[in-house]
Amino acid sequence: MEGDIPLADGPFAGWMHGDIEKLMFTLAAGATLLVGSLLYGTIRFVEWYNSEPIIPYTIAELEAPKEKRMLENPSIKASDNSNIQCYAPATGQYLGYVAPSTPDDIDRVIEKAHVAQKKWARTTFTQRRQVLRSMMAYILDHQEEICKVACLDSGKTMIDAALGEILVTIEKLSWTLKHGEKALSPSRRPTNLLMLYKKNTVRYEPLGVVAALVSWNYPLHNLLGPVISAIFSGNGIVVKASENTAWSAQHFSLIARGALYACGHDSNLVQVVTCWPDTANHLTSHSRISHITFIGSRPVAKLVAAAAAKPLIPVVAELGGKDAAIILNSAVKDLPRIIEILLRGTFQAAGQNCIGIERIIGLPEVYDKIVAALEPRIRALRVGSALDAPADSPVDVGAVISDASFNRLEKLIEAAVSDGARLLVGGKRFSHPVHHSGHYFTPTLIVDVTPEMAIANEECFGPICVVMRAKNPEDACNIANHPDFGLGASVFGSKDWELNAIVKKHQVWYGSYQ
Protein backbone atom coordinates (compact mmCIF):
# COMPACT_ATOMS: atom_id res chain seq x y z
CA MET A 1 0.00 0.00 0.00
CA GLU A 2 1.41 3.42 -0.96
CA GLY A 3 2.56 5.42 2.15
CA ASP A 4 2.24 2.37 4.41
CA ILE A 5 5.15 2.14 6.92
CA PRO A 6 6.44 -1.27 8.05
CA LEU A 7 6.63 -1.99 11.77
CA ALA A 8 10.18 -1.81 13.19
CA ASP A 9 9.94 -4.31 16.01
CA GLY A 10 7.64 -6.65 17.93
CA PRO A 11 6.09 -9.92 16.77
CA PHE A 12 4.83 -8.23 13.60
CA ALA A 13 8.19 -6.68 12.60
CA GLY A 14 8.28 -6.06 8.88
CA TRP A 15 4.48 -6.19 8.52
CA MET A 16 2.66 -3.31 6.89
CA HIS A 17 -0.17 -1.60 8.72
CA GLY A 18 -2.51 -2.79 5.95
CA ASP A 19 -1.48 -6.38 6.62
CA ILE A 20 -2.32 -5.94 10.30
CA GLU A 21 -5.75 -4.56 9.40
CA LYS A 22 -6.43 -7.52 7.12
CA LEU A 23 -5.36 -9.94 9.84
CA MET A 24 -7.57 -8.25 12.44
CA PHE A 25 -10.52 -8.31 10.03
CA THR A 26 -9.98 -12.01 9.36
CA LEU A 27 -9.72 -12.77 13.08
CA ALA A 28 -12.83 -10.72 13.80
CA ALA A 29 -14.78 -12.48 11.06
CA GLY A 30 -13.62 -15.86 12.31
CA ALA A 31 -14.52 -14.99 15.88
CA THR A 32 -17.96 -13.81 14.78
CA LEU A 33 -18.53 -17.03 12.87
CA LEU A 34 -17.36 -19.10 15.84
CA VAL A 35 -19.53 -17.23 18.32
CA GLY A 36 -22.49 -17.45 15.97
CA SER A 37 -22.01 -21.19 15.52
CA LEU A 38 -21.71 -21.71 19.28
CA LEU A 39 -24.80 -19.59 19.88
CA TYR A 40 -26.79 -21.49 17.24
CA GLY A 41 -25.61 -24.80 18.66
CA THR A 42 -26.55 -23.71 22.16
CA ILE A 43 -30.03 -22.69 21.05
CA ARG A 44 -30.55 -26.01 19.25
CA PHE A 45 -29.26 -27.89 22.31
CA VAL A 46 -31.65 -26.01 24.59
CA GLU A 47 -34.52 -26.74 22.19
CA TRP A 48 -33.60 -30.42 22.18
CA TYR A 49 -33.14 -30.52 25.96
CA ASN A 50 -36.47 -28.82 26.57
CA SER A 51 -38.37 -30.87 23.98
CA GLU A 52 -41.08 -33.13 25.29
CA PRO A 53 -39.88 -36.67 26.06
CA ILE A 54 -41.21 -39.41 23.81
CA ILE A 55 -43.27 -42.02 25.62
CA PRO A 56 -42.95 -45.43 23.94
CA TYR A 57 -46.06 -47.58 23.66
CA THR A 58 -47.42 -50.54 21.73
CA ILE A 59 -50.75 -51.47 20.21
CA ALA A 60 -52.12 -54.86 19.26
CA GLU A 61 -51.04 -56.08 15.84
CA LEU A 62 -53.66 -56.40 13.13
CA GLU A 63 -53.39 -59.60 11.15
CA ALA A 64 -55.47 -61.19 8.44
CA PRO A 65 -57.09 -64.54 9.23
CA LYS A 66 -54.45 -67.27 9.12
CA GLU A 67 -56.65 -69.44 6.96
CA LYS A 68 -56.94 -67.64 3.64
CA ARG A 69 -60.42 -67.61 2.15
CA MET A 70 -60.95 -65.98 -1.22
CA LEU A 71 -64.32 -64.44 -2.01
CA GLU A 72 -65.58 -65.18 -5.51
CA ASN A 73 -67.44 -61.92 -6.03
CA PRO A 74 -66.06 -59.74 -3.25
CA SER A 75 -68.21 -56.91 -1.94
CA ILE A 76 -68.39 -54.97 1.31
CA LYS A 77 -72.04 -56.00 1.54
CA ALA A 78 -72.36 -59.54 2.82
CA SER A 79 -75.11 -61.72 1.39
CA ASP A 80 -76.22 -63.20 4.70
CA ASN A 81 -75.88 -60.40 7.29
CA SER A 82 -75.79 -56.62 7.73
CA ASN A 83 -72.13 -56.39 8.77
CA ILE A 84 -69.47 -54.69 6.68
CA GLN A 85 -67.57 -57.44 4.90
CA CYS A 86 -63.87 -56.60 4.77
CA TYR A 87 -61.61 -58.05 2.11
CA ALA A 88 -58.36 -57.33 0.28
CA PRO A 89 -59.11 -55.57 -3.04
CA ALA A 90 -55.92 -56.96 -4.58
CA THR A 91 -56.81 -60.61 -4.02
CA GLY A 92 -60.37 -60.91 -2.77
CA GLN A 93 -59.11 -62.41 0.50
CA TYR A 94 -61.66 -62.30 3.29
CA LEU A 95 -60.40 -60.21 6.24
CA GLY A 96 -63.35 -60.23 8.60
CA TYR A 97 -66.59 -58.50 9.52
CA VAL A 98 -67.04 -55.10 11.14
CA ALA A 99 -70.34 -54.29 12.79
CA PRO A 100 -71.62 -51.00 11.35
CA SER A 101 -72.18 -48.21 13.86
CA THR A 102 -75.78 -47.39 14.74
CA PRO A 103 -77.18 -43.97 15.75
CA ASP A 104 -76.96 -45.07 19.39
CA ASP A 105 -73.32 -46.05 18.89
CA ILE A 106 -72.62 -42.62 17.41
CA ASP A 107 -74.31 -40.92 20.37
CA ARG A 108 -72.15 -42.89 22.79
CA VAL A 109 -68.81 -42.15 21.13
CA ILE A 110 -69.65 -38.46 20.81
CA GLU A 111 -70.46 -38.35 24.52
CA LYS A 112 -67.17 -40.09 25.37
CA ALA A 113 -65.21 -37.63 23.25
CA HIS A 114 -67.16 -34.73 24.77
CA VAL A 115 -66.27 -35.76 28.34
CA ALA A 116 -62.61 -36.32 27.44
CA GLN A 117 -62.38 -33.00 25.60
CA LYS A 118 -63.39 -30.96 28.64
CA LYS A 119 -60.19 -31.97 30.40
CA TRP A 120 -58.05 -32.05 27.27
CA ALA A 121 -58.94 -28.44 26.45
CA ARG A 122 -57.00 -27.39 29.56
CA THR A 123 -53.77 -29.12 28.51
CA THR A 124 -50.74 -27.10 27.49
CA PHE A 125 -49.12 -27.11 24.08
CA THR A 126 -46.20 -28.89 25.70
CA GLN A 127 -48.46 -31.76 26.73
CA ARG A 128 -50.04 -31.92 23.28
CA ARG A 129 -46.66 -31.94 21.58
CA GLN A 130 -45.62 -34.88 23.73
CA VAL A 131 -48.57 -36.87 22.39
CA LEU A 132 -47.71 -35.99 18.79
CA ARG A 133 -44.01 -36.77 19.29
CA SER A 134 -44.94 -40.17 20.71
CA MET A 135 -47.25 -40.79 17.74
CA MET A 136 -44.47 -39.85 15.34
CA ALA A 137 -42.02 -42.18 17.04
CA TYR A 138 -44.49 -45.05 16.86
CA ILE A 139 -45.15 -44.52 13.14
CA LEU A 140 -41.45 -44.30 12.33
CA ASP A 141 -40.72 -47.45 14.33
CA HIS A 142 -43.56 -49.44 12.72
CA GLN A 143 -43.45 -48.23 9.11
CA GLU A 144 -43.39 -51.64 7.45
CA GLU A 145 -46.22 -53.01 9.57
CA ILE A 146 -48.37 -49.93 8.88
CA CYS A 147 -47.68 -50.09 5.14
CA LYS A 148 -48.63 -53.77 4.98
CA VAL A 149 -51.94 -53.11 6.72
CA ALA A 150 -52.68 -50.22 4.32
CA CYS A 151 -51.76 -52.38 1.33
CA LEU A 152 -53.94 -55.26 2.44
CA ASP A 153 -56.98 -53.10 3.13
CA SER A 154 -56.77 -50.73 0.15
CA GLY A 155 -54.85 -52.70 -2.49
CA LYS A 156 -52.00 -50.22 -2.95
CA THR A 157 -48.31 -51.04 -3.32
CA MET A 158 -45.74 -50.74 -0.55
CA ILE A 159 -44.06 -47.74 -2.20
CA ASP A 160 -47.44 -46.03 -2.56
CA ALA A 161 -48.08 -46.67 1.13
CA ALA A 162 -44.65 -45.36 2.10
CA LEU A 163 -45.14 -42.13 0.13
CA GLY A 164 -48.87 -41.62 0.62
CA GLU A 165 -49.30 -42.85 4.18
CA ILE A 166 -46.05 -42.62 6.14
CA LEU A 167 -44.27 -39.67 4.52
CA VAL A 168 -47.21 -37.27 4.50
CA THR A 169 -48.38 -38.20 8.00
CA ILE A 170 -44.90 -37.65 9.41
CA GLU A 171 -44.70 -34.34 7.55
CA LYS A 172 -48.01 -33.20 9.05
CA LEU A 173 -46.85 -34.20 12.52
CA SER A 174 -43.54 -32.43 11.98
CA TRP A 175 -45.20 -29.21 10.77
CA THR A 176 -47.66 -29.20 13.65
CA LEU A 177 -44.89 -29.76 16.19
CA LYS A 178 -42.83 -26.91 14.75
CA HIS A 179 -45.50 -24.37 13.90
CA GLY A 180 -48.75 -25.42 15.59
CA GLU A 181 -48.35 -23.37 18.75
CA LYS A 182 -47.41 -20.25 16.81
CA ALA A 183 -50.39 -20.68 14.48
CA LEU A 184 -52.75 -20.92 17.46
CA SER A 185 -51.16 -18.22 19.60
CA PRO A 186 -53.10 -14.98 20.25
CA SER A 187 -52.39 -12.29 17.68
CA ARG A 188 -53.00 -8.54 17.68
CA ARG A 189 -55.13 -6.75 15.11
CA PRO A 190 -54.81 -3.07 14.16
CA THR A 191 -57.51 -0.58 15.06
CA ASN A 192 -58.51 2.81 13.66
CA LEU A 193 -57.70 6.31 14.90
CA LEU A 194 -60.99 6.76 16.76
CA MET A 195 -60.53 3.47 18.62
CA LEU A 196 -56.93 3.93 19.74
CA TYR A 197 -57.96 3.44 23.36
CA LYS A 198 -58.89 -0.18 22.56
CA LYS A 199 -56.75 -3.20 21.74
CA ASN A 200 -57.86 -6.00 19.42
CA THR A 201 -56.59 -9.51 20.06
CA VAL A 202 -57.64 -12.71 18.30
CA ARG A 203 -57.61 -15.79 20.52
CA TYR A 204 -58.15 -19.33 19.29
CA GLU A 205 -60.29 -21.51 21.54
CA PRO A 206 -61.08 -25.23 21.12
CA LEU A 207 -64.39 -25.88 19.38
CA GLY A 208 -65.29 -28.98 21.37
CA VAL A 209 -65.91 -32.23 19.51
CA VAL A 210 -65.34 -32.11 15.76
CA ALA A 211 -66.03 -34.72 13.10
CA ALA A 212 -64.17 -35.88 10.02
CA LEU A 213 -65.66 -37.98 7.24
CA VAL A 214 -62.72 -39.34 5.29
CA SER A 215 -62.20 -41.35 2.13
CA TRP A 216 -60.65 -44.79 1.73
CA ASN A 217 -57.73 -44.03 -0.61
CA TYR A 218 -55.29 -43.24 2.23
CA PRO A 219 -56.56 -45.25 5.22
CA LEU A 220 -53.82 -44.09 7.60
CA HIS A 221 -53.18 -40.52 6.49
CA ASN A 222 -56.80 -39.53 5.88
CA LEU A 223 -57.72 -40.80 9.34
CA LEU A 224 -54.81 -39.40 11.33
CA GLY A 225 -54.56 -36.09 9.44
CA PRO A 226 -57.69 -34.54 10.98
CA VAL A 227 -56.92 -36.22 14.32
CA ILE A 228 -53.54 -34.46 14.51
CA SER A 229 -55.07 -31.04 13.86
CA ALA A 230 -58.05 -31.62 16.12
CA ILE A 231 -56.23 -32.76 19.24
CA PHE A 232 -53.43 -30.21 18.93
CA SER A 233 -56.14 -27.52 18.80
CA GLY A 234 -57.64 -28.87 22.02
CA ASN A 235 -60.58 -30.66 20.45
CA GLY A 236 -62.02 -34.13 20.64
CA ILE A 237 -62.77 -35.84 17.35
CA VAL A 238 -65.02 -38.50 15.85
CA VAL A 239 -63.76 -39.86 12.54
CA LYS A 240 -66.17 -41.62 10.23
CA ALA A 241 -63.93 -43.94 8.26
CA SER A 242 -64.99 -45.33 4.91
CA GLU A 243 -66.71 -48.68 4.97
CA ASN A 244 -64.28 -49.72 2.21
CA THR A 245 -61.39 -49.64 4.70
CA ALA A 246 -63.28 -50.51 7.86
CA TRP A 247 -60.84 -53.34 8.64
CA SER A 248 -57.89 -51.03 9.30
CA ALA A 249 -59.75 -47.98 10.65
CA GLN A 250 -60.00 -48.95 14.30
CA HIS A 251 -56.43 -50.27 14.24
CA PHE A 252 -54.98 -47.04 12.87
CA SER A 253 -56.99 -45.02 15.39
CA LEU A 254 -55.14 -46.90 18.15
CA ILE A 255 -51.95 -45.10 17.11
CA ALA A 256 -53.48 -41.84 18.36
CA ARG A 257 -55.41 -43.38 21.23
CA GLY A 258 -52.34 -45.30 22.38
CA ALA A 259 -50.23 -42.13 22.43
CA LEU A 260 -52.87 -40.32 24.48
CA TYR A 261 -53.07 -43.14 27.01
CA ALA A 262 -49.28 -43.54 27.23
CA CYS A 263 -48.92 -39.82 27.97
CA GLY A 264 -51.51 -39.95 30.75
CA HIS A 265 -54.57 -38.62 28.91
CA ASP A 266 -58.03 -39.99 28.17
CA SER A 267 -57.90 -42.02 24.95
CA ASN A 268 -61.64 -41.48 24.48
CA LEU A 269 -60.70 -38.10 23.01
CA VAL A 270 -60.33 -39.86 19.63
CA GLN A 271 -63.18 -42.00 18.32
CA VAL A 272 -63.73 -43.84 15.05
CA VAL A 273 -67.01 -45.07 13.60
CA THR A 274 -67.79 -46.98 10.43
CA CYS A 275 -71.35 -47.09 9.22
CA TRP A 276 -73.49 -47.41 6.14
CA PRO A 277 -74.28 -44.16 4.28
CA ASP A 278 -77.85 -43.90 5.57
CA THR A 279 -76.57 -43.74 9.16
CA ALA A 280 -73.90 -41.09 8.52
CA ASN A 281 -76.59 -38.41 8.52
CA HIS A 282 -76.95 -38.91 12.28
CA LEU A 283 -73.33 -37.85 12.76
CA THR A 284 -73.36 -34.92 10.34
CA SER A 285 -76.50 -33.42 11.91
CA HIS A 286 -75.56 -34.07 15.54
CA SER A 287 -75.92 -31.06 17.83
CA ARG A 288 -72.77 -31.96 19.79
CA ILE A 289 -70.55 -31.72 16.70
CA SER A 290 -68.92 -28.29 16.32
CA HIS A 291 -67.19 -28.65 12.95
CA ILE A 292 -67.07 -31.13 10.07
CA THR A 293 -64.24 -31.98 7.70
CA PHE A 294 -65.30 -33.95 4.64
CA ILE A 295 -63.18 -35.70 2.01
CA GLY A 296 -65.11 -37.22 -0.87
CA SER A 297 -67.27 -36.55 -3.89
CA ARG A 298 -69.44 -33.55 -4.72
CA PRO A 299 -72.77 -35.43 -4.59
CA VAL A 300 -72.03 -36.74 -1.09
CA ALA A 301 -70.69 -33.33 -0.01
CA LYS A 302 -74.08 -31.81 -0.81
CA LEU A 303 -75.76 -34.35 1.46
CA VAL A 304 -73.27 -33.65 4.24
CA ALA A 305 -73.72 -29.89 3.91
CA ALA A 306 -77.52 -30.21 3.93
CA ALA A 307 -77.47 -32.32 7.09
CA ALA A 308 -74.97 -30.02 8.79
CA ALA A 309 -77.09 -26.99 7.93
CA LYS A 310 -79.83 -28.10 10.32
CA PRO A 311 -77.78 -27.47 13.49
CA LEU A 312 -75.62 -24.90 11.64
CA ILE A 313 -72.38 -26.90 11.74
CA PRO A 314 -69.60 -25.36 9.62
CA VAL A 315 -68.21 -27.72 6.97
CA VAL A 316 -64.85 -27.78 5.19
CA ALA A 317 -64.98 -30.03 2.12
CA GLU A 318 -62.13 -31.37 -0.02
CA LEU A 319 -63.78 -32.76 -3.13
CA GLY A 320 -62.84 -34.20 -6.50
CA GLY A 321 -60.59 -32.70 -9.10
CA LYS A 322 -59.46 -32.95 -12.69
CA ASP A 323 -55.91 -31.81 -12.04
CA ALA A 324 -53.84 -30.79 -15.02
CA ALA A 325 -50.10 -30.96 -15.62
CA ILE A 326 -49.10 -28.34 -18.20
CA ILE A 327 -45.88 -29.06 -20.10
CA LEU A 328 -44.51 -25.97 -21.87
CA ASN A 329 -42.26 -26.05 -24.94
CA SER A 330 -39.35 -24.79 -22.87
CA ALA A 331 -39.44 -28.00 -20.81
CA VAL A 332 -38.24 -30.13 -23.72
CA LYS A 333 -34.74 -30.66 -22.30
CA ASP A 334 -36.16 -31.81 -18.96
CA LEU A 335 -38.64 -34.31 -20.41
CA PRO A 336 -36.90 -37.47 -19.09
CA ARG A 337 -37.23 -36.16 -15.53
CA ILE A 338 -40.73 -34.82 -16.11
CA ILE A 339 -41.94 -38.16 -17.51
CA GLU A 340 -41.03 -39.82 -14.20
CA ILE A 341 -43.08 -37.22 -12.33
CA LEU A 342 -46.04 -37.66 -14.69
CA LEU A 343 -46.03 -41.42 -14.21
CA ARG A 344 -45.90 -41.10 -10.43
CA GLY A 345 -48.57 -38.40 -10.38
CA THR A 346 -50.91 -40.40 -12.61
CA PHE A 347 -50.50 -43.96 -11.39
CA GLN A 348 -49.74 -43.61 -7.67
CA ALA A 349 -52.35 -45.58 -5.72
CA ALA A 350 -53.68 -46.81 -9.09
CA GLY A 351 -54.76 -43.26 -9.88
CA GLN A 352 -56.93 -43.03 -6.76
CA ASN A 353 -55.24 -39.88 -5.61
CA CYS A 354 -57.08 -36.69 -4.67
CA ILE A 355 -54.46 -34.45 -6.28
CA GLY A 356 -53.28 -36.98 -8.83
CA ILE A 357 -52.63 -35.95 -12.42
CA GLU A 358 -55.88 -36.48 -14.34
CA ARG A 359 -54.80 -34.63 -17.51
CA ILE A 360 -51.46 -33.96 -19.19
CA ILE A 361 -51.57 -30.89 -21.42
CA GLY A 362 -48.64 -30.64 -23.82
CA LEU A 363 -47.66 -27.81 -26.13
CA PRO A 364 -46.73 -28.50 -29.81
CA GLU A 365 -42.96 -28.94 -29.42
CA VAL A 366 -43.28 -31.46 -26.58
CA TYR A 367 -46.60 -33.21 -27.25
CA ASP A 368 -45.38 -36.00 -29.54
CA LYS A 369 -42.28 -36.52 -27.40
CA ILE A 370 -44.44 -36.93 -24.29
CA VAL A 371 -46.66 -39.50 -26.00
CA ALA A 372 -43.67 -41.40 -27.40
CA ALA A 373 -42.04 -41.54 -23.97
CA LEU A 374 -45.18 -42.52 -22.06
CA GLU A 375 -46.46 -45.33 -24.28
CA PRO A 376 -43.73 -47.95 -23.66
CA ARG A 377 -43.48 -47.05 -19.98
CA ILE A 378 -47.21 -47.43 -19.37
CA ARG A 379 -47.40 -50.62 -21.43
CA ALA A 380 -44.67 -52.11 -19.23
CA LEU A 381 -46.36 -51.33 -15.90
CA ARG A 382 -46.88 -54.47 -13.82
CA VAL A 383 -50.23 -54.87 -12.09
CA GLY A 384 -50.88 -57.00 -9.04
CA SER A 385 -50.74 -57.51 -5.29
CA ALA A 386 -47.60 -56.01 -3.77
CA LEU A 387 -47.77 -58.32 -0.75
CA ASP A 388 -47.84 -61.46 -2.90
CA ALA A 389 -45.49 -60.49 -5.74
CA PRO A 390 -42.22 -62.43 -6.14
CA ALA A 391 -39.04 -60.55 -5.30
CA ASP A 392 -37.82 -60.67 -8.90
CA SER A 393 -41.07 -59.25 -10.30
CA PRO A 394 -42.28 -56.34 -8.17
CA VAL A 395 -45.62 -54.65 -8.71
CA ASP A 396 -45.86 -51.13 -10.17
CA VAL A 397 -49.61 -50.52 -9.94
CA GLY A 398 -51.87 -51.98 -7.29
CA ALA A 399 -55.57 -52.70 -7.19
CA VAL A 400 -58.56 -50.38 -7.38
CA ILE A 401 -60.66 -50.31 -4.21
CA SER A 402 -63.64 -51.96 -5.94
CA ASP A 403 -64.95 -52.74 -9.40
CA ALA A 404 -67.90 -50.36 -9.01
CA SER A 405 -66.32 -47.74 -11.29
CA PHE A 406 -65.15 -50.07 -14.08
CA ASN A 407 -68.24 -49.79 -16.30
CA ARG A 408 -68.12 -45.99 -16.08
CA LEU A 409 -64.40 -45.85 -16.89
CA GLU A 410 -64.76 -48.16 -19.89
CA LYS A 411 -67.66 -46.08 -21.23
CA LEU A 412 -65.68 -42.84 -20.83
CA ILE A 413 -62.81 -44.33 -22.82
CA GLU A 414 -65.08 -45.79 -25.51
CA ALA A 415 -66.89 -42.46 -25.93
CA ALA A 416 -63.60 -40.56 -26.23
CA VAL A 417 -62.29 -42.97 -28.88
CA SER A 418 -65.52 -42.68 -30.86
CA ASP A 419 -65.07 -38.88 -30.77
CA GLY A 420 -61.53 -39.02 -32.17
CA ALA A 421 -59.20 -39.80 -29.27
CA ARG A 422 -56.56 -42.51 -29.71
CA LEU A 423 -56.33 -45.37 -27.22
CA LEU A 424 -52.71 -46.52 -27.16
CA VAL A 425 -52.61 -48.71 -24.05
CA GLY A 426 -55.22 -50.47 -21.90
CA GLY A 427 -58.73 -49.10 -21.74
CA LYS A 428 -60.48 -51.92 -19.91
CA ARG A 429 -60.57 -53.91 -16.68
CA PHE A 430 -57.73 -56.34 -16.12
CA SER A 431 -58.25 -60.01 -15.32
CA HIS A 432 -55.28 -60.98 -13.17
CA PRO A 433 -53.89 -64.44 -14.00
CA VAL A 434 -53.40 -65.28 -10.31
CA HIS A 435 -55.69 -63.03 -8.29
CA HIS A 436 -58.97 -63.75 -10.06
CA SER A 437 -61.06 -61.92 -7.46
CA GLY A 438 -58.86 -58.82 -7.37
CA HIS A 439 -60.08 -55.45 -8.65
CA TYR A 440 -57.72 -54.33 -11.41
CA PHE A 441 -57.96 -51.87 -14.27
CA THR A 442 -55.34 -51.96 -17.02
CA PRO A 443 -52.99 -48.94 -16.91
CA THR A 444 -54.32 -46.82 -19.74
CA LEU A 445 -52.93 -44.21 -22.13
CA ILE A 446 -55.42 -42.25 -24.19
CA VAL A 447 -54.19 -39.31 -26.29
CA ASP A 448 -55.56 -36.58 -28.57
CA VAL A 449 -58.32 -35.96 -26.04
CA THR A 450 -60.18 -32.68 -26.51
CA PRO A 451 -61.82 -30.44 -23.87
CA GLU A 452 -65.37 -31.34 -24.94
CA MET A 453 -64.95 -35.06 -24.27
CA ALA A 454 -66.45 -36.41 -21.06
CA ILE A 455 -63.18 -38.05 -20.05
CA ALA A 456 -61.57 -34.59 -20.03
CA ASN A 457 -64.16 -33.27 -17.59
CA GLU A 458 -65.09 -36.13 -15.28
CA GLU A 459 -62.77 -37.34 -12.56
CA CYS A 460 -61.57 -40.84 -13.45
CA PHE A 461 -59.93 -41.73 -10.14
CA GLY A 462 -58.26 -44.69 -11.77
CA PRO A 463 -55.03 -45.65 -13.60
CA ILE A 464 -55.81 -43.63 -16.71
CA CYS A 465 -53.38 -41.23 -18.37
CA VAL A 466 -55.20 -38.60 -20.45
CA VAL A 467 -53.03 -36.52 -22.80
CA MET A 468 -54.31 -33.34 -24.45
CA ARG A 469 -52.78 -30.96 -26.98
CA ALA A 470 -52.58 -27.16 -26.52
CA LYS A 471 -51.59 -24.53 -29.09
CA ASN A 472 -49.87 -22.15 -26.68
CA PRO A 473 -49.65 -21.36 -22.94
CA GLU A 474 -52.90 -19.39 -22.96
CA ASP A 475 -54.69 -22.25 -24.69
CA ALA A 476 -53.23 -24.67 -22.13
CA CYS A 477 -54.65 -22.55 -19.32
CA ASN A 478 -58.07 -22.46 -20.96
CA ILE A 479 -58.04 -26.25 -21.33
CA ALA A 480 -56.94 -26.66 -17.71
CA ASN A 481 -59.79 -24.44 -16.52
CA HIS A 482 -62.47 -26.04 -18.69
CA PRO A 483 -63.87 -28.55 -16.14
CA ASP A 484 -66.01 -27.44 -13.20
CA PHE A 485 -63.56 -28.99 -10.75
CA GLY A 486 -60.84 -27.04 -9.03
CA LEU A 487 -58.19 -28.61 -6.85
CA GLY A 488 -54.60 -28.35 -8.01
CA ALA A 489 -52.35 -28.26 -11.05
CA SER A 490 -48.69 -28.21 -12.02
CA VAL A 491 -46.68 -26.51 -14.73
CA PHE A 492 -43.28 -27.44 -16.15
CA GLY A 493 -40.96 -25.18 -18.12
CA SER A 494 -37.56 -23.49 -18.05
CA LYS A 495 -38.44 -19.85 -18.81
CA ASP A 496 -39.34 -17.90 -15.70
CA TRP A 497 -41.44 -15.29 -17.46
CA GLU A 498 -43.51 -18.01 -19.10
CA LEU A 499 -43.99 -19.89 -15.85
CA ASN A 500 -44.80 -16.75 -13.88
CA ALA A 501 -47.52 -15.80 -16.34
CA ILE A 502 -49.31 -19.08 -15.60
CA VAL A 503 -48.58 -19.10 -11.88
CA LYS A 504 -50.10 -15.63 -11.45
CA LYS A 505 -53.31 -16.69 -13.14
CA HIS A 506 -53.81 -20.16 -11.75
CA GLN A 507 -53.39 -22.33 -8.68
CA VAL A 508 -50.36 -24.40 -9.62
CA TRP A 509 -47.23 -25.91 -8.14
CA TYR A 510 -44.30 -24.08 -9.60
CA GLY A 511 -41.79 -26.39 -11.25
CA SER A 512 -42.61 -29.67 -9.54
CA TYR A 513 -45.54 -31.94 -8.86
CA GLN A 514 -46.31 -32.37 -5.17
The catalytic residues are 318
Whether residue 480 contacts residue 456, with contact meaning beta carbons closer than 8 Å, is answered with no
44 Cβ partners below 8 Å, 6+ apart?
none
Cα 20 to Cα 10, 191, 196, 215, distances in angstroms:
13, 56, 56, 70
Sign of the four-CA dihedral 233, 236, 240, 246: positive
Per-position DSSP letters for 416-476, written without gaps between them: HHHTT-EEEE--SB---SS-TTS--B--EEEEEE-TTSGGGTS---SSEEEEEE-SSHHHH
Sign of the four-CA dihedral 116, 118, 122, 126: positive
Residue 315 backbone phi and psi in degrees, to 5: -125, 135
Q: How far does Cα 72 stand from its chain's mean position?
A: 33
Cα–Cα distance between 387 and 398 in angstroms, integer?
A: 10
Amino acid at 90: A
User: What is residue 200's three-state secondary structure?
Assistant: strand
Q: HSE of 178 in the Cβ direction (CA atoms, 13 Å)? A: 6
Cα 478 to Cα 162, 406, 448, 474, distances in angstroms:
35, 29, 16, 6
91: exposed, middle or buried (Cβ count in 10 Å: 0-12, 13-18, 19+): buried
